[in-house]
Chains A and B, each alone.
Chain A
Amino acid sequence: MTTHDLVILGSGPAGMAAAATAVAYGITALVVDEQPAPGGQIYRSIESTPLKERRILGDDYWHGKALVDGLDDPRIDYRPGTTLWQLTRRLEVGLLQGGHASMVQARHVILAHGAMERPFPIPGWTLPGVMTAGSGQILLKSAGLAPSAPVVLAGCGPLLLLLAVQYLRAGIPIAALLDTTPAGQYWDALPLLPGALRNSRTLLKGLGLLAELRRAGVRHVRHVTALEAEGEDRLERVRWQCGNDPEWHCLTTPLLLLHQGVVPNTQVTRALDCAHDWDERQLAWQPRRDPWLATDVEGVAVAGDAGGIVGAKASAMQGQLAGLGAAIALGRVSEDKIHGEVKRLRRDLARETAIRPFLDVLYRPAVHWRLPEDETLVCRCEEVTAGEVRRMAEQGCRGPNQTKSFTRCGMGPCQGRMCGLTVSELLADANGQSVAETGYYRLRPPFKPITLGQLATAAEDTSG
């Protein structure tokens, strides 16, 4: 098995910055990413997007160019189109590239694989024609693909607004933006505004997006309290209610894009059995990390949104910090020597993330969006409803692993990515215990699909 000093998972802002930082200390870095090109989700297809007109995707998107250029370094072994299917606590890394599985040994690992969208289980969310806003944005960035008929966007959070504006600029008609942000939350977030002003640039950008939507006359429906997707074999209509008004409103549309924020993707840190904490403000699990972003598994650090949502700029800063941590861990530099640099970095990071508490409270999905009605499907792979999960709690299931055993909930190919948060919150609610006590799925490799034939040759091949 080949040994690599540093293996970085993900070539988004955190991964790219970590690689650039580490190689400056003479470390060679292996950067793996399942995407065909660098940039992560935020700077996806930055080298190839057909949307060359700068204003469509915005300045923040094109900001990623410098980071991507930094990957072009002989000390960085960048492998696009490569998935991580296994990572052990002994830092054995299972890779799959071009249908070929191999194992390599790492001395240090930085996980920078980013976030995933929070599940948004509403009645009808499994119908064809209902997608996440993130998927809608991927199609736009990578292929310039967009629906021809007017689209409905629903939910809350900065990404939803950004996508609405990007669609607008690309000339894609928006039938309505259904905003599920609860009415009182603007007031709840207000006390956090002064802190957020430390990152006024991001704040202004958000206000700018709202203004742009308003100027363009996009139908922006606020305080949506109920939402349903309907149709026979695919989406035909979206129905909603506002505030306490019992009246249902309805729009015909072939495409509904749902979004209620992003959360760290903890599949790999869970499979490693790292300690995780429930963050009540972000309503998500985060791997527990020390000031160098190292987890409690020796040699494994987590940078960027995979460790807690911080956004692209702060992710890159965390990547630098983790890169420095790797250089220290691998004995390439002493902590004293980079003291000043680290101090500045931590200060910048604090300023950049100062807006988070404000955003987290403002766009916190209301409890009824996280705890669906009994009939709503929660696990899409195995078709388990919220009601079945609640019944399992009555039968004595204290957490998602027992529920998984009894109902197959979370056992499908997505490995619980689409239902995990919902199931933990449902069980916590039904059992009258905290989410932290309830826990999360134990995850097992492979993280990404691998065939038996590929696995059969994985142990023999040590060329990786």
Chain B
Amino acid sequence: MKTYDFAVVGGGLVGSAIAYGLAKAGHRVAVLDEGDVAYRASRGNFGLVWVQGKGLEMPSYSQWSMSSASLWPSLSEELWDLTDVATQHQAPGGVHLCYSQREMDLRQADLTSLAKATGGQFDFAMLDHQQLREMIPEIGESVAGASWSRWDGHANPLYLLRGLHAGFLRCGGTFLPGSKVHRVHQRGDSFVIEREGERVQAERVVLAAGLGNRLLAPQVGLHAPLVPNRGEILVTERMRPLLNLPTTYLRQTGEGSILMGDSHEDVGFDEGTETPVLSHIAQRAVRALPALANTRIVRTWGALRVMTPDGYPLYQASLSHPGAFVACCHSGVTLAAAHAKRLAPWIAGDSLPSEIAPFTAERFDVQTVIPA
């Protein structure tokens, strides 16, 4: 059996970014992915490269996100050079819309404390209705204002995934689609990854299987207490340019369609859509941009976020099974550049990026001890 340097379990955005980073550095890497239908958060997400408001309770998450946002242009460029796939990445800054003065005040307080906690690295501005209107001429009357941050942007998540896959193949990676991995175990100095009718051997293994990590992590001495969290998204037909910068729940794609949605639903493994939720998303979108009222919806969908108990990422090397790693987060687009350019080198043996030191699973144990 051929032994790879690394086997990455999971061909979504997290796994593909890490695998791409590893392959680009010259390692022999295999990605094991499922078949055509699976819980694929990476194919259902919104496409923000987003910083503002993230990490209110954990400033290192904000710093990690900023690091990735800074690395995004170079990731996008190298994927274009390598594969001709354009991620449509743009970083014009982004806004979070507020519908009342009270929302404005709360937002300002949150972001001020975040700016402080990051030593001023994160910066933002509050915009009143008039200032916002200068940026988005068709903004609705009932929008009070917004917070704006230069750190924010967006990209096409599907083209990012396609570019990472193509780049990975270009760098000599081996892509093995087919079925779910059900067993990972150590044998001698290497790992054996098993799935229906197939075994793959690698010196090191990276578990990036999204919600699938829950069952795989314990097999190599790791802990991944993940839960699905559903988000529903709507996409419209193509429109004239209407929104030249992304907002937290509304963005115009490179093709001209408008994407909307930011629901957070605890519904287990149900990827469906619910009319009341969709209806609410539509109401808010029309409030933000009244011109959308007569726009046709092409498709709606639900996708499952990969959530840790506190919502922050989980990156960890196994102590009991040296060479095994787990990586999960629900911001696969934002963090793609950091995963390819900073996390992958750590997995390959470099020192740990300082921002991610807190993102181990031990923090969940502490939380369960402290009474709520």
Contacts and interface: CB of A to CB of B under 8 A. Distances in A.
Q: In which size bucket is the chain B interface?
A: 35 or more
Contacts of A3: none
Interface in B107-133: none
A396 B273 CA distance: 29
Q: Which of A399, A439, A451 has the most CB of B within 10 A?
A: A451
Nearest to A403: B36
A415 B299 contact: yes
Q: In which size bucket is the chain A interface?
A: 35 or more
B37 A453 contact: no
Contacts of A451: 293-297
Nearest to A442: B37
Given A395-B169, A398-B35, A450-B296, A459 B158 contact: no
Nearest to A440: B36
B241 interface: no
Interface stretch (A64-72, A358-366, A404-412): A404-412
A405 B43 contact: yes
Contact of A449 (B158, B275, B285, B296): B296
A135 interface: no
A455 B162 contact: no
Given A405-B162, A452-B236, A456-B279, A444 B297 contact: no
A418 B42 CA distance: 26
A453 B297 contact: no
B286 A452 contact: yes
A202 interface: no
Interface string B273-306: 1111011101101100000111111111100000
A451 B158 CA distance: 25
Given A396-B175, A458-B279, A459-B275, A402 B36 contact: yes
A92 B275 contact: yes
B177 interface: yes
Contacts of B103: none
B237 to A, nearest CB: 6
A396 B177 contact: yes
Interface in A435-453: 438-439, 442, 444-446, 449-453
B330 interface: no
B272 interface: yes
A81 to B, nearest CB: 17
Q: Which of A89, A445, A456, A458 has the most CB of B within 10 A?
A: A456
A86 B275 contact: yes
Contacts of B158: 405-406, 408
Contacts of B298: 411-413, 415, 449
Contact of B279 (A396, A413, A438, A455): A455
Contact of B36 (A89, A395, A398, A413): A398
A438 to B, nearest CB: 7
B294 A399 contact: no
B307 interface: no
Contact of B37 (A92, A439, A459): A439
Interface in A99-145: 103
B293 A453 contact: yes
A399 B35 contact: yes
Nearest to A407: B162
A452 B292 contact: yes
B273 A445 contact: yes
A89 B273 CA distance: 10
B14 to A, nearest CB: 16
Given A452-B236, A456-B286, A444 B300 contact: yes
Given A456-B283, A456-B286, A459-B280, A444 B301 contact: yes
Nearest to B174: A396
Contacts of A400: 36
Contacts of B35: 398-399
B95 interface: no
A401 interface: yes
A43 B33 CA distance: 49
Contact of B286 (A398, A402, A444, A453): A453
10 contacts: A408-B255, A439-B36, A444-B273, A446-B300, A450-B297, A451-B297, A452-B295, A453-B282, A456-B283, A456-B293
Interface of B: 11, 33, 35-37, 40, 43, 158, 161-162, 165-166, 169, 175-178, 234, 236-237, 255, 272-276, 278-280, 282-283, 285-286, 292-301
